[in-house]
Structure 1
Amino acid sequence: MTNLIKRLPKAELHLHIEGSLEPELMFTLAKKNNINIPYKNIEDIRNAYNFTNLQSFLDIYYAGANVLITKEDFYDLTWEYILKCVEDNVIHTEIFFDPQTHTQRGISFETVITGIKEALNDAKEKYGITSCIIMCFLRHLSQEDAFKTLEESLAFKDDIIAVGLDSSELGNPPSKFEEVFKKAKEEGFKLVAHAGEEADVSYIYEALDLLDIQRIDHGVQSIKSDELMKRLKDEQIPLTVCPNSNIELKVFENYKEHNIKELLDYGLNVTVNSDDPAYFKGYINQNFINLCENLPLSKEDIITLVKNSFKSSFIDEELKKEYLAKVDKAI
């Protein structure tokens, strides 16, 4: 199974670029940019990566992002992730970034997106890896703040395919952002949102019905509603599930309790992704391997999960066919 996982070309649809900041790079950039971080060495940083829930992770995630200052920093961050894609046979990636995390610190929107975009352009040129950029609103901030971010993004519209919604889920329902998502849709952006990770199924309904999203990021709580499960199956709405993340943030106590196999068996359009891999102990292949070691996933299940990721991506139909043919060839 491990050989199959490594051999299959993959798409990744749920990856926060700031969440791929490895301790080594965090330490290097902190020194370079003269930023104080509360860790003496790389080992200290690794030891801090023991989370009890989503918020305990976000606290260190935002602290880590403080070391990202220049366009080159965002380039280096993205390039390190691209090298992991090469290692894990990811041939298409759709990357989230959080502009507000940086603009709030006085880093310009342009600095952030230019660094990311240049690395992705080089990835296409050097390795043939295709990519899309998704801009996320931070849900613990106000809708007014999200509107300002949307306004700023319009100058870079050609580089951003979709808008999403992330950060602290509980207490920040999708309905809080209904108007800004409506405006984003009018501007031509595709729409996704984190929903049903820690919060109940009402957040998934709101994301679908009020925000009119095309993909649900996480969505593992959907299993708690028969009606929702049927709808997700009938409409084949993609769920970008992040197994390692769910375990590390205690959404499930351990891998054997994870419900991805049940979601798949029911006929939902489920994909596997790494979310914030530097913090959650592994990139995409490791997520697949952990699933296989703990759940009764068949070879066919793995192939379905991989094919779902291409089918659910924001690339055109022609390229989807080309990539699915590559999966068949690898099989």
Structure 2
Amino acid sequence: MITTLPKVELHLHIEGTLEPELIMELAERNGIRLPYTDLADLRRQYEFTDLQSFLNLYYANLDVLVTEQDFTDLTLAYLRRAQAAGVRHAEIFMDPQAHTSRGIALATCVNGVSKGLAQGESEFGISTSLIVAFIRDRPAAEALEVLTELIALKAPIVGIGLDSAEVGHPPIDFVEVFALAREHGLKCVAHAGEEGPPEYVWQALQLLKVSRIDHGIRSLEDDALVDYLVENKIPLTVCPFSNVRLRVVDRLEDHPLPSMLERGLLVTINSDDPAYFGGYLDDNFRGLQQTFGLDAPAMAALSRNAVQAAFLTDAQRAPLLEDISSWLEAQV
């Protein structure tokens, strides 16, 4: 039932879909010696105590991505799995600085992912768009340089985001970067309120002028912020499995999703970095269903939220909403 529900994914880092098997395959292809004895040893590294311990492994594994074809293969692997999960549209993050900082040309990663997205749309029937996310614990001046180069390259992106280690790296540091993006008609989103305080959500909204908040679960700590988010219908791209694996919440049973829905927040469900967090989008839906007893109307509502929050035209939204309604009718 869950896999047949038409879904939209809005918070997905393409680098976070790098499965251990593909890591080993690309390492062999590119002649890279990994610090793991075998696949089982690599899998044992996937126990995290917090966001930083996850990021350390995440960035180390990216060394296997070298050529344009590597990025294309990574993207196609995600889209193949997303199709099985029932994903119909995906707005995908890529972290260019994670690659340029290790000597990979910006055009190599952008073109590789873009080719995978184009091929995947025809092969898997998933519409997509690309959002470049800037790493907040690297200098804002570097992000500005990368964005300027992306604009000069006429890179096929729809927007920019802000991600990585949140604590101590407030959105205010990136005001100039986001202003430049808006000048060039790019959509703006930002990670805020995951490990960082509600103040970071306010900054993302008021200073970066984002139209979506990625994560945002700590918004519940500020009633005025919740009221603002509800009144302005600001979407939150929530990632339940990610929150548990990174110890933002101890157990899925402790996740604030029910409270967020009760307060009227526009919540969407996403998988974030599924190769690391134990589940793709269908797995997250299934986990929520089993934990909170979500019925078919509740899951359909979450899926509709994502359609409404996506950077799509009304004409593009209409068939997705119709398909969700058809799915729901078939469940009763």
TM-score by structure 2 length? 0.97
- Aligned twin of 1:190: 187
Structure 1 contact 240–270 (Cα < 8 Å) conserved: yes
What is the RMSD computed on CA atoms of the aligned residues?
1.0
- Aligned twin of 1:323: 320
* Large movers: runs of 4+ above 6 Å: none
Structure 2 contact 191–216 (Cα < 8 Å) conserved: yes
- Aligned twin of 1:230: 227
Q: Percent identity?
A: 44
Tell me how far 1:92 sits from its aligned partner.
Answer: 0.3
Structure 1 contact 175–207 (Cα < 8 Å) conserved: yes
One-letter identity of the residue aligned with 1:180: V
Structure 1 contact 37–63 (Cα < 8 Å) conserved: no
One-letter identity of the residue aligned with 1:262: S
From 94, 97, 101, give the equivalent of 1:97: 94
What whole-Å deviation, never above 9, does each CA across 1:115-174 have from its counterpart, x for those lacking one?
A: 111111111112221000000111001111011110111134451000000011000000
One-letter identity of the residue aligned with 2:316: L
From 27, 33, 38, give the equivalent of 2:35: 38
For residues 263 and 37 of structure 2, what CA distance do their matches in structure 1 show? Answer: 48
Q: Describe the SS at the equivalent of 2:165.
A: coil
Structure 1 contact 255–295 (Cα < 8 Å) conserved: no
- Aligned twin of 1:287: 284
Equivalent pairs counted in the alignment come to 328
One-letter identity of the residue aligned with 2:327: A
For residues 278 and 264 of structure 1, what CA distance do their matches in structure 2 show? Answer: 27
From 200, 206, 216, give the equivalent of 2:197: 200
Tell me how far 1:31 sits from its aligned partner.
Answer: 1.6
- Aligned twin of 1:259: 256
1:105-254 equivalences in 2 (<5 Å): 105-157=102-154, 159-254=156-251
> Unaligned stretches of 5+ in structure 1?
none
Q: Describe the SS at the equivalent of 1:323.
A: helix
For residues 116 and 185 of structure 2, what CA distance do their matches in structure 1 show? Answer: 25
For residues 63 and 148 of structure 2, what CA distance do their matches in structure 1 show? Answer: 23
Say if 2:297 is the partner of 1:300: yes
Structure 1 contact 98–137 (Cα < 8 Å) conserved: yes
Q: Describe the SS at the equivalent of 1:211.
A: coil
Change (3 A) 1:273 1:156: farther
- Aligned twin of 2:10: 13
For residues 6 and 32 of structure 1, what CA distance do their matches in structure 2 show? Answer: 33
TM-score by structure 1 length? 0.97
What whole-Å deviation, never above 9, does each CA across 1:303-330 have from its counterpart, x for those lacking one?
A: 1110011110001110101111111122
- Aligned twin of 1:51: 48
What whole-Å deviation, never above 9, does each CA across 1:214-233 have from its counterpart, x for those lacking one?
A: 00000000011111111111
For residues 164 and 56 of structure 2, what CA distance do their matches in structure 1 show? Answer: 10
> Unaligned stretches of 5+ in structure 2?
none
One-letter identity of the residue aligned with 1:181: F
One-letter identity of the residue aligned with 1:93: A
- Aligned twin of 2:83: 86
Tell me how far 1:24 sits from its aligned partner.
Answer: 0.3
